[in-house]
Amino acid sequence: MLKLENEIYLYILLALPILVLFYFIYRARRKKLLSKFATQIALARLAPNVSTFKNSLKFILILIAFSLMVLGLANPQIGTKMKEVKREGIEVVIAVDVSNSMLAEDIRPNRLERAKSAIKRLIDDLKQDKISIVLFAGDSFLQLPLTTDYSAAKLMVSTMSTNLIEKQGTAIGSAIELGLKSFSDDDKVNKVMIIITDGENHEDDALSAAKIAVEKGVIIHTIGMGSVDGGPIPNIVNGQSKGYLTDNQGKTVVSKLNANMLKELASIGGGNFVRASGGDFNLGDLIDDIAKMEKTEFEAKVFTDFEDRFQYVFFFALFVLVLEMLISDKKNKTFTMKKIIGEDND
């Protein structure tokens, strides 16, 4: 397992765009000043060996070395030993809608991106609970089995996309059924399912599936993504937005939040309904309810020994800096002579 001991240092990388901007400003000002003294043709004759390409290459290498040094400060570590530890917690299945309607931009940047942010917040607050992730659209599939590896869970969240399930639609009932199979068989462990969707269920009977889940002791919370007024669904083709989806009559399809159905689903499941619209949505009550649930002891495998790898990153940064110093800012004479000979032959 790879982790960063001091992730806060990564914020230094925000300086990279500023450095690039200063570099282009410097190049532009230098060119402007030189143009006051001589024409481009004259400058080429006065400094025939100066290579613009090599100057840019040297700058890129400096940026790479800078980035590597920042990564070295963050101290990458690799887990070398697994150990079984005792933990107390519950089991939480997070079912996430990845149908095309989750691309609607009635909440910014879109429903799916906001859902991913919400899940990461949930993971940070779940402490020692086991987590599983189910994705659904027209079908459902288990993206992450029950685990206490929160780093892996966040990685899975980052990869969520509407491209992961080919069959479109919103089958919430199917997601609940798969979520039930994702829990362990231990009846002593409290179980929670969190369903994140816009609520436009077209495929099955989600309420009946929720009743079955409640009979098995599962509490269901729902998070509604979107607004009542709704928004058009971007038509994504090969990663490019090509307008918005239309129906058979050529009218733009508008996806709206079905808050009533999600409220009823949470009511049946004995949980909370949280609505995400324009601003930040409050997950406090939902998190508090989960935190108050009785915890059960279980065994989990975790990495206990981590070895530092910053020295390798710093060494590579030093190598890049030495490479930058060895590269001359002058043109390659052999290449230049061949070019001149070629022009003479013409």
Three-class DSSP labels, the chain = CEEECCHHHHHHHHHHHHHHHHHHHHHHHHHHHHHCCCCHHHHHHHCCCECHHHHHHHHHHHHHHHHHHHHHHHCEEEEEEEEEEEEEECEEEEEEECCHHHHCCCCCCCHHHHHHHHHHHHHHHCCCCEEEEEEECCCEEEEEEEECCHHHHHHHHHCCCCCCCCCCCCCHHHHHHHHHHHCCCCCCCCEEEEEEECCCCCCCCHHHHHHHHHHCCEEEEEEEECCCCCEECEEEECCEEEEECECCCCCECEECCCHHHHHHHHHHCEEEEEEECCCCCCCHHHHHHHHHCCCEEEEEEEEEEEEECHHHHHHHHHHHHHHHHHCCCECCHHHHHHHHHHHHHC
State yes or no: pLDDT of 29 exceeds 80.
yes
pLDDT tens-digit series, residues 179-197: 999 999 988 899 999 999 9
Amino acid 260: pLDDT: 93
Amino acid 197: pLDDT: 95
pLDDT band, very low/low/confident/very high, at 297 (cuts 50, 70, 90): confident
Sign of CA dihedral 237, 197, 96, 172: negative
pLDDT band, very low/low/confident/very high, at 88 (cuts 50, 70, 90): confident
pLDDT band, very low/low/confident/very high, at 56 (cuts 50, 70, 90): confident
pLDDT band, very low/low/confident/very high, at 344 (cuts 50, 70, 90): very low
Amino acid 213: pLDDT: 97
pTM above 0.75, yes or no: no
Going from N- to C-terminal start, the domains of the chain cover 2-75+309-345, 85-301
State yes or no: pLDDT of 158 exceeds 90.
yes
Beta-ladder partners of 97 = 136
State yes or no: pLDDT of 261 exceeds 70.
yes
Mean pLDDT of 93-113: 94
Mean pLDDT of 114-118: 92
pLDDT band, very low/low/confident/very high, at 52 (cuts 50, 70, 90): confident
Return mean pLDDT, the chain: 85
Do residues 86 and 200 touch, judged by C-beta distance below 8 A?
A: no
Structure tokens at 334: 């052999």
Amino acid 93: pLDDT: 98
Mean pLDDT of 253-278: 91
Mean pLDDT of 157-183: 93
pLDDT tens-digit series, residues 1-13: 677 888 899 999 9
For residue 109, whether the previous peptide bond is cis, meaning omega lies within 30 degrees of 0, is yes
Provide the 10 A C-beta neighbour count for residue 123: 19
pLDDT band, very low/low/confident/very high, at 94 (cuts 50, 70, 90): very high
- At the second CATH level, the architecture of 85-301 is 3-Layer(aba) Sandwich (3.40)
Least confident segment among 44-48, 63-67, 230-234, 254-258: 44-48
